[in-house]
Amino acid sequence: MSATRSPVQNPNRTLPRWLAKFFFQCVEAAQRRIARGSLVGDRPIFDNALFPWVGALEAQAPAIAKELEAVLATPGRLPAFHEISPDVATITQDHQWQTFVFLGYGMRAERNLARCPATAAALDGIPGLRTAFFSILSPGKQIPLHSGPYNGVLRLHLALKVPREREQCWIEVNGQRYVWQANRAVIFDDAYPHEVHNDTDETRVVLFVDFERPCKVPVSWLNRLLLAFAPLTPELQQAKTNHEKWERDYYADGAAVDGGSSAPPEAPPATAPASTASAPGAASPSTSKSRTAPAHDGEVQHAEHAEASGNERR
């Protein structure tokens, strides 16, 4: 699939290009205020104790993982991430990063939610939920260093399927490495440069969640205003259109739940990605002026050590 963005299909609910450009300028300008107004600090990886609801989510991980196994029964029917959200074609263009979407900035995948009721119930307990999906990383897949466009949301990964050689499967955020642990969550700020490696021969799957960053008033009001406009951007409208089409095809003949071909589709040819603006929550190559990754020190930091590393910016 080409990295070139396709035309938006439903322009009636999309911001004009000039207004979308202004919106992204507002997002960029707001980031320092968001960092200063954060109620949980401003760092690459967070202590889960700052988020009281995480324990309840982790307790639901076995039930969520059971629903995941049913979804993975037909892997060839699942979309590559860039087929849903063309913006991520700047960092991935093969079929080795797949997704199964539940929520996305105002879009609800009702049939996917109905198929995974335990997952849906667990998501209901996350304050300020903005996006949620199964993120499926094939053996050997690497996602290069990149940065999210906005620090007004934080990202959570709940590990559901972890390779046995877990030390070879990791995410590194601003130089801090985290190795996923089954049924455990990690929360990080994806506006910092980060990369992912699955250097194993097994699949890694996490429940991938973006949620509103807790902030002081009035910064929280500004954050919610920007997040409310995000679904109207051309980038997220295109992703919504792409997902709705995929979902119709997926459930059209019942094969999604009754079985079907598991042969993955042919990988698209590699093409040079286009340089595009990203909506909040989308990925972009790491070119941030204010957030740069330090030299890699090779140290593996687990969840219980992530907070000890500090690295809080003042």
116 lies in some domain: yes
Lowest mean pLDDT segment, chosen from 2-6, 15-19, 286-290, 302-306: 2-6
In the structure, what pLDDT confidence band is assigned to residue 289 with cuts at 50, 70 and 90? very low
pLDDT exceeds cutoff 70 at 98: yes
Instruction: Count CB atoms within 10 A of the CB of residue 69.
Output: 11
155 lies in some domain: yes
Q: What is the CATH number of the domain that holds 247?
A: 2.60.120.330
185 lies in some domain: yes
| Total domains present in the chain | 1
* pLDDT at res. 15: 57
* pLDDT at res. 23: 61
For 171-217, write each residue's pLDDT tens digit: 999 999 999 999 999 999 999 999 999 999 999 999 999 999 999 99
Residue 55, H or E segment: helix 54-59
240 lies in some domain: yes
Helical residues (DSSP H) of 192-291, grouped into ranges:
219-229, 234-251, 255-258
- pTM for the full predicted model: 0.77
- SS3 per residue for 176-187: EEEECCCCCEEE
Residues of the chain with pLDDT > 90: what percent?
Answer: 65
34 lies in some domain: no
154 lies in some domain: yes
Range of the domain at 76: 43-254
Q: How far apart are CA 309 and CA 202, in angstroms?
A: 29
